[in-house]
Amino acid sequence: MASARLYFIFLLFQLPFYLHLSIAQNNGTVPVGATLTAGTNSSTWLSPSGDFAFGFRQVDEENNTNDLFLLSIFYSNIPAKTVVWYTDNKDQNPAVPRGSQVKLTADHGLVLNDPQGKQVWSSEIDIGTVAVGHMNDTGNFVLASSSSSKLWDSFSNPSDTLLPGQTMETKQGLFSRKSETNFSRGRFQFRLLKDGNLVLNIANLPTGDAYDAYYISGTYDPANSSNSGYRVMFNESGYMYILRRNGGRFDLTTESVVPAADFYYRATLNFDGVFAQYFYPKNGNENWSVAWSEPENICVNIGGEMGSGACGFNSICSLDSDRRPKCACPKGYSLLDENDRYGSCKPDFELSCWGGGQGYKKELFDFHELQLTNWHLSDSERFRPYNEVQCKNSCLSDCFCAAVIFQDDCCWFKKLPLSNGMTDGRLTSKAFMKYKNKGDDPPSVPRPPDPEDKKKRKMMNATGSVLLGSSVFVNFALVCAFGLSFFFIYKKKWIRNSPGDGTIETNLPCFSYKELEEATDNFKEEVGRGSFGIVYKGVILTTRTSTTAVAVKKLDRVFQDGEKEFKNEVVVIGQTHHKNLVRLLGFCDEGQNRLLVYEFLNNGTLASFLFGNLKPSWNLRTNIAFQIARGLLYLHEDCSAQIIHCDIKPQNILLDDYYNARISDFGLAKLLTLNQSKAIRTAIRGTKGYVAPEWFRNSTITAKVDVYSFGVLLLEIISCRKSFDIEMGEEYAILTDWAFDCYRNEKLDDLVEGDMEALNDIKCVEKLVMVSIWCIQEDPSLRPTMKKVLQMLEGVVEVSLPPNPYPFSSSMG
């Protein structure tokens, strides 16, 4: 009985609190201290009518593909739950994980924290103290002081949508989201300029720099400034217009609209760059309908000298029935990001212009004709008078030409990346896009030439007539006999490659020195040299009718009495299988002659690729860096036996036909004759500029020496500059020192000077530089493993601020 009385007293004391919450929700008011937590069934702060809700909305809820939530304002009474406002973190995704919490505070207004309590966004109250919050029926969330003065509201801080009753001044603007379900800031803007013009434009995301407008209202009057626009209005009746300084109007909604009492209205800058006004019946279950939209044809109107156009680079834009753009990759191209169908397309081939175009074979390419298509801003050459055949043949012979436009007697060459790709029904020209019609098949494991081949061919010829004239049974018996004879011949050959004969227990073919001498035309064509010897190009027989180009490495710096070591290392190398490693196809172990046979890669070394006259594209360079990291991770952790490379440098990274990075010379470090090395001191393996400090200190050598070398190589990839270049002057000669100074002094733009692609992706540049600084730490224990390096590069693990990489050197003065 006593406990019941106590419980009743407790309820009496708590009743005012519950009544207060109920009244607050009925009035749309929110008290200081109120919180909301992100979850599937999380509560919201409703407007008095219940039309709008403030709270967490699950991102991509229909597909349930993630567990992220968006702090937003949305329509709560319609099935679509359309978002009309959300937090804007500029260059970061505003979506937060389950368990995040928003709290209304007196000092800072709305404060959003992640599940660990770290603040990710706030309403930034400049002056005053918040007494209460209001979720109004207009869709505006307002923070007010005790005197009811407004301290902050969502209408004054719009995201991508305007609502009836909302205005937009020149200092404000709308930003598109990145995609339908990615609420990071996109590249389209809707702004009222100071001169009075309302414009739509593309912006450079890292800097916010606005490119040319693809819609302009024309409300600037240079002759009469009072006639210029100065405010965008969206009234409660559902009409949008630009208010002129003299009180006049420039109507944006030109058609009569349905009654606002029966319909919801919103005006949204869509993620694809189209600005549209929509309406939706309050008592219906339909889709949003379009009242009007701009521009009329974004594919054609977007124009401008900068940017990729309505779609990404190398993509082609066409309109659907709602005047919204559709983007598609042409034949031979695929999406750079499979999850972004409005993004850029990458060619599934390379034109191989590097190295003077020596790897370019025009017979591998053909054209795909595209109807009513052009890329107006990607011209590289113009030829006239030309006919269609001359136009296409000239492009086939030019490794830089990606597409051609032909009209009358004029031929335009187009270069990559192709921008502003569009279909336009008014075009009368023809468009032809180059694609690779056949790829070079990957080389099969070559079989060494068989000296008994001639004998076998004679036997086949002698018995051919017998086979043709015999009965079916005799034919079958003879075929079986020949099959068995071939089996025993090859079995005998592979048995000779057994440990009992002093060779290697491996499935790799063992060539004789004479065979490789013939394959390389007496070692005629040298294609490279390094710490282990010279590399020659050769051709070997893979089948009776086909040959394969190979790279034959003639080792001249291995232990001459280290037969066992050589065998063991070749076995280990032969067991590696990874797409970012150069494949070993065979070997020679004959007396003093030891040679390795590798697949031949047409595009040469990363060194010639990075340090040539033309700077490779930023995307291609970053992809190469990721691929090298994956190859090293495989060597360090995924091989049957760990392999430490000990000589990672651009000369030991080769590029295949598609510019995929392939690590070479791995597994050979143990074979290097120490007193014959080109290293800086006797016991050191590696190349000056890439050698980890522990080599100099007689410390234990671990896989972290490769991490150090990768850090130096990563800086070379970022800057397209050699690790040591005395011609740059004493202050800039050592790349690692200069790069750290650029990072420390926040001058990373100096590191990628003149590289517009990199400058436009400066956040990525900063991340890669930070990763490289972690890799080149003097103290090996501070360096991450290659697994951690790859996770940082791919964004799986956040990159923390790196320390000074030279604490020992600094302390020594």
What is the average per-residue pLDDT within 230-240? 91
Radius of gyration of the chain (CA): 34
Cβ neighbors of 261 (< 8 A, separation 6 or more) are none
- The domain locations on the chain are 24-157, 164-295, 301-436, 445-600, 604-811
The answer on pLDDT for 61 being more than 70 is no
Give the integer Cα–Cα distance in Å for 721 and 753. 11
Q: How confident is the model at residue 687 (pLDDT cuts 50, 70, 90)?
A: low
Level-2 CATH architecture, domain 24-157: Orthogonal Prism (2.90)
Instruction: Report angle CA 719, 731, 736 to the nearest 5 degrees.
Output: 45
pLDDT of residue 468: 39
Binding positions for ATP are 554
The answer on pLDDT for 584 being more than 50 is yes
Give the integer Cα–Cα distance in Å for 407 and 754. 35
Give the integer Cα–Cα distance in Å for 357 and 330. 24
Q: How confident is the model at residue 533 (pLDDT cuts 50, 70, 90)?
A: confident
Q: How confident is the model at residue 469 (pLDDT cuts 50, 70, 90)?
A: very low
CATH superfamily of domain region 445-600: Phosphorylase Kinase; domain 1 (3.30.200.20)
Give the integer Cα–Cα distance in Å for 395 and 400. 8
pLDDT > 90 in the chain, percent: 36
Question: Could you say which of 3.30.750.24, 1.25.40.80, 3.30.300.30, 2.90.10.10 is the CATH number of the domain covering 164-295?
Answer: 2.90.10.10
Q: How confident is the model at residue 62 (pLDDT cuts 50, 70, 90)?
A: low
Q: How many CB atoms lie within 10 A of CB 547?
A: 14
Which one has a higher pLDDT value, 148 or 111? 111
pLDDT > 70 in the chain, percent: 81
pLDDT of residue 452: 46
Length of the chain: 813
* CATH 1.10.510.10 is right for the domain spanning 604-811: yes
What is the average per-residue pLDDT within 366-371? 87
Cβ neighbors of 735 (< 8 A, separation 6 or more) are 689, 712, 715, 716, 719, 721, 722, 723, 724, 725
Q: 143-170 pLDDT, tens per residue?
A: 999 888 899 999 999 999 999 999 998 8
The answer on pLDDT for 633 being more than 60 is yes
The answer on pLDDT for 387 being more than 60 is yes
Among 647, 656, 657, 755, the one annotated catalytic: 647
Q: How confident is the model at residue 188 (pLDDT cuts 50, 70, 90)?
A: very high
| Lookup result for tokens 């329509």 | 75
Q: 548-576 pLDDT, tens per residue?
A: 889 999 887 555 445 666 777 787 788 88
pLDDT of residue 20: 40
Q: How confident is the model at residue 45 (pLDDT cuts 50, 70, 90)?
A: very high
| Lookup result for tokens 């400066």 | 762
pLDDT of residue 71: 95
Residues 595 and 584 sit within 8 Å (Cβ to Cβ): no
Backbone phi, psi, residue 508, to 5°: -70, 135
Say if 24-157 and 445-600 have the same CATH topology. Answer: no
pLDDT of residue 320: 85
What is this structure's pTM? 0.53
What is the average per-residue pLDDT within 72-90? 89
What is the average per-residue pLDDT within 474-487? 46
706 is an active site residue: no
